[in-house]
Amino acid sequence: MMGNNGRGFFMPTLLTHMNESKKHYAFIKEKLLEYVKSGDLTPHDYALMDDAYMGNKKNITLYGFNMIIVKDTAEANRNRKVIGIPSMKHSSKIRKDFFKKLKEDDTHYIE
């Protein structure tokens, strides 16, 4: 999908608005899971879409990507593992390491 003066379209924006399609959501979800399995869609983008839908419709989070409190981290981690996303704890460590490295490499960082 192209947009933005010929550059690629930011898929999470499109996918997180799939919750508007009540009639076709189940079909879209099933198809996109096939794309995750084939490597054509990132597991993260799929989880964002599904969490946006579940948050909007049922006020729950399956993967911990919407702003709803995760009540069962073990279940969220199992859901993440099924589609290939690191656990919540591991994801947090990855983020912390990334920002630590970014801070170290930034010669213009001001504290």
Q: Maximum distance among all alpha carbons in the chain?
A: 51
DSSP state, residue 3: E
pLDDT tens for 31-66 read 989 999 999 889 999 999 899 888 888 899 999 988
pLDDT tens for 64-104 read 988 888 999 999 999 999 999 999 999 889 889 988 888 88
pLDDT of residue 1: 46
pLDDT of residue 79: 96
* Residue 87 CB partners (closer than 8 Å, separation 6+): 77, 80, 81
Structure confidence at residue 19 as a pLDDT band (50, 70, 90): low
Q: Look at strands 2-3 and 7-8 and give their pairing.
A: antiparallel
Please compute the mean of the pLDDT values over residues 19-29 and round it to a whole number. 81
